[in-house]
Amino acid sequence: MKTTEDYNFDGKKAIIRVDFNVPLNKDLEVTDISRIEAAKPTIIKVLEDGGSAILMSHLGRPKGVEDKFSLENIVNTVSDVIGVKVKFVKNCIGDQVEQAAAELKSGEVLMLENLRFHDEEKAGDKEFAQRLAKLADVYINDAFGTAHRAHASTTVIAQFFEDKIVGKLLQKEIDSLDKVLHSNEKPVTAIIGGAKVSSKITVIENILPKIDHLIIGGGMSFTFIKAQGGKIGKSLVEDDKLDLALKIIDKAKAENVELHLPVDVISTTDFNNDAETQVEKSNAISDDRMGLDVGPETNKLFAEVIKESKIILWNGPLGVFEMDNFKEGTISIGQAIGEATENGSFSLVGGGDSVAAAKKFDLADKMSYVSTGGGAMLEMLEGKSLPGIEALK
């Protein structure tokens, strides 16, 4: 695949698929600019070479044209972040758009309206993709967050270009995952959290041959604990996945992977932050209680494993971190990863909730790399090829 370093954009118009699906507050102001900042290096490379950039993205899940999902709401923020006044056009195809693209000069940036105002985008419509393609000389995909979707702007458009290029952000994402999945450095530790085993089965099965330690936390840990005969009270469990949990335990043994489950939990009688809490053994939780976070003993044990690790993957929180009484396990794991990273380990954090937790507790800067694409990252961890990346080959 061609990278931005393999190409000189002098005098070229580059149409760049970015992921500007950013959170907005009730006043339609951007509340987190990290996705815009992540796309900046690719845009700047095009401009510094003497080219011009046409940015296309989706925002939210609009049903037809909805003002609250217009990319016009974020134009000023994008201008501020990249340091160039960004022009805007109120559509992404049509005569007005073609004229705006034709008039674009070297060093200038044009942003198109929300791609998903057109149903053809998600449908992967070929004619729609062709109309986008005619705006530019070269195509760059820098939207890892949508690389697992075979949409018009992420996949279909590539066939209309001789020059199709991997953006700097997309390259970083691919390299980071490659480092986790194909590293010669040992030990490799994966921390998998979240509510359900069912959503992470294929990830766990695919990564087991590549790792040395598997730490399981969050609600999904109770399925493993119950499968081994533990008493989990009213804790979250997938009773139809108990056999599967035992199979994963057996497979981990066969692959010489050490499996680490919580040994204690913070339990409560009610799913709210104000209910009283106590520490209980993870396999002996009272009948009327539920575990909502890992306990202090578990935090110590998990931290020891992480500090010895050279490569660390973190996907999913260890407790209900949105509530103050059940955030310590997630903070503790993040701090341990941060310390290991400071001591030379490589750490990759990805998947919506773990990224949200890392940002909430000011841990993101302590990680080697924080992925911008939850679904895309999970699919790569599952061993799937992503259409948005395949289209660039």
Binding residues: 19-21, 35, 58-61, 116, 149, 200, 291, 322, 351-354
Question: In terms of C-beta density within 10 A (0-12 exposed, 13-18 middle, 19 or more buried), how is residue 372 classed?
Answer: buried
Q: Extract the annotated binding site for substrate.
A: 19-21, 35, 58-61, 116, 149
Question: Structure tokens of 203?
Answer: 């990830």
| Of 179, 352, 359, 360, catalytic | 352
Structure tokens at 390: 């395949």
Regarding beta strands 277-281 and 284-285, do their DSSP bridges make them parallel or antiparallel, or are they unpaired? unpaired
Q: What angle do CA 375, 202, 326 make, to 5 degrees?
A: 65
The C-alpha atoms of residue 229 and residue 239 are separated, in whole angstroms, by: 12
Whether the bond between 187 and the residue before it is cis, its omega within 30 degrees of 0, is: yes
Whether residue 17 lies in the annotated active site: no
Q: Report d(CA 225, CA 242) in Å as an integer.
A: 9
Q: What is the CA radius of gyration of the chain?
A: 23
375 is catalytic: yes
Q: Which residues are annotated as a binding site for (2R)-3-phosphoglycerate?
A: 35, 116, 149
User: Long-range contacts for 244-253 (Cβ within 8 Å, ≥24 apart)?
Assistant: 244/197, 244/201, 245/197, 248/197, 248/201, 248/204, 248/205, 248/208, 248/224, 249/224, 251/205, 251/208, 252/208, 252/214
Q: Indicate if 350 belongs to the active site.
A: no
**Residue 194 catalytic?**
no
Could you say which of 12, 13, 35, 172 is catalytic?
A: 35
Q: Which residue ranges make up the annotated binding site for ATP?
A: 200, 291, 322, 351-354
Which residues carry out catalysis? 35, 196, 352, 375
